[in-house]
Each structure stands twice: as structure tokens, then as C-alpha cells.
Amino acid sequence: MADPRATDATGAVRTVLLAGGEGRRMGPLGTGRLKPLVPYGGACRLIDFSLANARASGLGEVLLLSQYEERQLMDDLHRVWNQGPDFRVHFGPYDTAYATSGAALPAELPARTWPLERGTADALIRKSGYVFEGADGRRDPEHVLVLHADHVYRFDYRPLIDAHRASGAALTLAYQRIDPRWVHLFGMVEFDPRGRLTAFVEKPEVATSDLVFAAFCVFDAAVLRRYLELLDGTGWQHDISRDVIPAMLAAGEHIRGHEVAGHWEDIGTVERYHRAHLALAASPTAGLPVGRMPWTVAPDVRRAWVSDHFGVRASVVPADLVNDGRVEDSVLFPGVRIGAGARVRRSVVLPGARIPAGADIDSAVVLEDGHIQQTDIQPTDLRQTASGIRETEGARA
């Protein structure tokens, strides 16, 4: 059985994935599912980007640190990511149950004996044995790569890890340059001419920089553990961005930045989710093209951007689409069926959804069960538009 406390091929690096979001700001799209499992891009779920990046970077194992609905998340990730020989997700105190069940799911899990984690930093310290300690006589990790589960990007983590090790920094954080209008939504960062961090402000009221924390970073393991232990039991917010990084900066720790080139996007609300999909539909090269995404939803079904062909214009669609209507400027997942005369515009249609004949859908997210979630009004039930049409659940990855 593999253990995340083993030395990784990249050199004593422990990779942890923080996946605690409930998805409340996603509205009905997040109801009944965790935010990391929200479908994205006609291809995958949000959590799959970080996992695919880790696998492509030669990181053979990722330690999952979750909080809400752990069983739902672990079952899903075990089915999707733990069936091959070269990569797996480790489930900490629950891992033995999954590792010994093979491709099946465990009948039961050990009872939780620790309190619920209250934030990203709390998750690290409550499961510190899996994060900071070696196993089977192996040395403790030298570095901890911290990832989050709700960002859209493809990235090779190896240059980041190499730069961190070469600099001797206590922390190297990834950052990206964005439109200054949106800096207030993120952790703003500033650096001096030597590349050292001089300011870190979570969601600033006034932006003095156009650089933001890209929500993944590499810590010196011993330094991270020391700050977690110093903060634990104080009046902290149990958060990496609000507590740990500011404390390290205030203490004069050596913190450096590593720029993220290319597409990177934070999907925090259903409005941003919808806007990101409209960008995908705009052109085959806009945003992160579907061909570069991990295909974890119906992976054997081809999908592509279509310019104008057989009732589809400027949209990302799957090869199994059954379309008797018209689709424009939209992103559709596998298993979707469009009824006769129906029209779908500027929308996202999730796996397996059925659009009834004659329906007119505009600027919405159509959920697997047929409910419509508008981006600006309360969701309605698509099934009410055509009585007698029975909606079905979407396909699961």
C-alpha cells in the first residue's frame, strides 16, 4: 500500500490537496455536491485540474485533506483516480479501508475521532502525522506542496519546486497578474526587486498591485509546521492565507514568488462559473481549451469546439450529443439530449440533461435533473416547461 509519507520522485515533497469547500455560493449547482465535484468545461470536475497537474508533474501521490461530506468525495476520487498503477489519492486515516478494497468501495470507514477542521491551516495541523512525518523508516519530507481543489489551470509543478529548493526560501507561492478590477476578490501580493514578498493582503479594499496569489505554494516543511503550532490555540482564523502567510511575512521569513503563465481561473461563484464557460464557447483557443482539460466525465466520449455544423454554433459539444434543436455559444457535457425545436444559448448543460422539445434556454446552467439555474434570477424547473418529459440524472465520472 502506497503512503503519502514516502519520499516523492521530485525530492522529499509531500503533496496535499485542500478540498473543503461546500459550494454555498454556487447556489443549486452546488446543492447535493461538494464544490470540488462541480462539473466543468464539458470534460471534468473542478478538483480534477489539481490532480491532473500533480500526476503530469511526476507526483505519484496526493494526500487529500477534506472536511465536508468526506465519504462522498473519497468514494468519487477512489473510482476516478485510484484505479491505475502510477498515481493515487491518499485518504489519510481512511486510506487503509480504500487501499484494501481494491477497485470496489469500502463497506465502512473508521469512525472520526478528531474534531472537524475549521479552515485550510487547521486541516494541515489536525492531520499533521500524514503531512509532516515519514513512514516505514523513511525521512520526514523537506517540503510541502499545498494545492486547492477549485481552480482551473494546467501547470507543471516541477519548476516551482526546483526554484523553491534552489532559493532556500521558507515559502514559494505561485502568483498571476490579473486585471486590477478583480484583485479585491483574491489575495493580493507584492514583491521587491529581488523577488521577495513584501505584502500579502487577503481581498484588499484598495488594490495597490495587479498580482494575486494563485492558491498553490511550496513550504519548507519544518517552517510550516512551526508556524502552525505557534498559531494553534490562538485567536486565529485557521487559514493559510489569513494567518500562516501573514505571520511568516511579519516574522521576516524568506518568501518568494513564482509566476503562473497561461490560463488560471478561480471559480468562486456561479456567475464566474457561467462567465468562464462563455469564454470557452467563444473560440477554440479561448481560456483553457477542452482538449487540454482532464477528461474524467465520460472519458471515452470525444468532445470539441464546433464553429457551425448541424444545429451547433460556437459551442463545446460531445460526440454523443443528440440534437434536434439549436445550440449556440454554449458548453454541453456528454449524455445531453436536445429536443425538437429547442434552443440553448449562452448556457452550460450538465451531464445527461434533457432539454424538452420547444424549450428556449438562455444564459443558464441546466442541471443534470433538468432544473435551470439562471445566473441572475431564481432557478426554475425545466420539467415545468413541458409536462410529461421525464428528466434523468447525469452521468457520473
For 336-380, the pLDDT digits (tens) are 999 999 999 999 999 999 999 999 999 999 999 999 998 863 344
State pLDDT tens for residues 290-307: 999 999 999 999 999 999
Q: What is the pLDDT of residue 68?
A: 65
Residue from 14, 52, 298 nearest 128 by CA:
14
Q: What angle do CA 239, 144, 163 make, to 5 degrees?
A: 115
Can you list the positions of beta strands (E) in 260-370? 264-266, 303-309, 312-318, 322-323, 326-328, 331-332, 337-338, 343-345, 348-349, 354-355, 360-362, 364-366
Asked if residues 196 and 171 have their Cβ atoms less than 8 Å apart, the reply is no
- Phi, psi dihedral angles at 200 (to 5 degrees): -145, 115
CB-neighbour burial class of residue 193 (10 A; exposed 0-12, middle 13-18, buried 19+): exposed
The single residue listed with the C-alpha cell 456567475 is 271
Q: What is the pLDDT of residue 136?
A: 59
- pLDDT category of residue 20 using cuts at 50, 70 and 90: confident
Q: What is the pLDDT of residue 157?
A: 97
Alpha helices in the chain (DSSP H): 47-56, 70-81, 95-99, 120-126, 128-132, 157-167, 221-231, 245-250, 270-282
Residue from 243, 256, 50 nearest 147 by CA:
50
First to last CA, the chain: 24
- pLDDT category of residue 331 using cuts at 50, 70 and 90: very high
State pLDDT tens for residues 81-135: 999 889 999 999 899 999 999 889 999 998 887 777 777 788 888 888 999 987 6
The three-class DSSP label of residue 144 is: strand
- pLDDT category of residue 315 using cuts at 50, 70 and 90: very high
Q: Cα–Cα distance between 27 and 125 in angstroms, integer?
A: 31
CB-neighbour burial class of residue 320 (10 A; exposed 0-12, middle 13-18, buried 19+): middle
Range of weakest confidence among 89-93, 142-146, 365-369, 388-392: 388-392
State pLDDT tens for residues 221-252: 999 999 999 998 888 888 899 899 999 999 99
- Phi, psi dihedral angles at 100 (to 5 degrees): -90, -5
- pLDDT category of residue 137 using cuts at 50, 70 and 90: low
What is this structure's pTM? 0.89
Q: Provide the sign of the torsion angle of the four alpha carbons 29, 30, 34, 35, taken in this order.
A: positive
As given in the structure block, the three cell numbers for residue 286 are 479561448
The three-class DSSP label of residue 59 is: coil
User: Average pLDDT, stretch 263-269?
Assistant: 89
Residue from 103, 97, 86 nearest 51 by CA:
86
Q: What is the pLDDT of residue 66?
A: 83
Q: Cα–Cα distance between 247 and 296 in angstroms, integer?
A: 38
Asked if residues 90 and 2 have their Cβ atoms less than 8 Å apart, the reply is yes
Q: What is the pLDDT of residue 203?
A: 92
Q: Cα–Cα distance between 131 and 123 in angstroms, integer?
A: 10
- pLDDT category of residue 195 using cuts at 50, 70 and 90: very high
pLDDT at 10 over 60: no
DSSP 293: S
Q: Order across the sheet with 337-338: list the strands.
A: 322-323, 337-338, 354-355
DSSP-derived secondary structure for 356-384 = -TT-EEESEEE-TTSEEEESSS--EEGGG
Q: What is the pLDDT of residue 233?
A: 82
Q: Cα–Cα distance between 231 and 225 in angstroms, integer?
A: 10
pLDDT at 3 over 50: no
Q: What is the pLDDT of residue 369?
A: 92
Q: What is the pLDDT of residue 158?
A: 97
Q: Cα–Cα distance between 341 and 322 in angstroms, integer?
A: 13
The three-class DSSP label of residue 123 is: helix
Range of weakest confidence among 13-22, 163-172, 312-321, 336-345: 13-22
